[in-house]
Amino acid sequence: MTYRFVARAAGAEIDLDYDCFIEAGISEGEDGSGFIMMFQCGSEEPDEQDISLGFDTHCLVTADQGTAYGCVQSVELTGNVLRVSLVPEALPALGLDDAEIEAVLEAPAEDIARFREVLPRVLAYGREDARPARIAV
C-alpha cells in the first residue's frame, strides 16, 4: 500500500558552521506537526566514526523521531507530488507500515522550490551503495 498525505509545509536548511547539517523536509501541518519527513545529512564528509556506525549516508526522520540511514530507494517530485520509496527493512525504525509514500505539497511555492533544490544534495551524501537508485526532482 501507499501512505498518502497533504504536506502544508516544506523547507530546507543548510548549516555549514555550527551543527554542520543539511536538511530538506515536509510536514502535514503548517506548523511542522502531523506526519513529517525530514531528509538529513552532514555538511562535511563522513569521518571514521560515522563510517563505523553506518552514519555515512543520508537519514530520514519521521514523527516521534523514527530514524533510519540510507533507507530511501527512490524519490520523485513531479509538479507538486512527492513520491518516496523506502527499503522495507527500515520501516520498523521509522515507525511506518508502508514503504511507499506519496505527498501532495501544498506549501508556499518558494518553500517547495527550496526543498526541491536541497533534497538531491542530501540524498547524494555519503557512500554510493546507500544512495537512492532514482532521484528525480
Give the C-alpha separation, 97 to 22, whole Å: 27
| pLDDT tens track for 66-103 | 999 999 999 999 999 999 999 999 999 999 999 999 99
C-beta neighbour count of 36 within 10 angstroms? 21
Query: What is the grid cell recorded at 84?
Result: 518516496
Count the domains in the chain: 1
In eight-state DSSP terms, residue 54 is T
Residue ranges making up the domain that contains 85: 2-136
Percent of the chain surpassing pLDDT 70 = 100
pTM for the full predicted model: 0.94
**Residue 49 confidence class, pLDDT cut points 50, 70, 90:** confident
End-to-end CA distance of the chain: 23
Q: Which of 101, 122, 74 is nearest to 5 (CA)?
A: 101
CA torsion, ordered 116, 101, 40, 113, to nearest 10 deg: 10
Residues with Cβ < 8 Å from 123, sequence gap 6 or more?
Answer: 39, 41, 58, 72, 75, 131, 132, 135
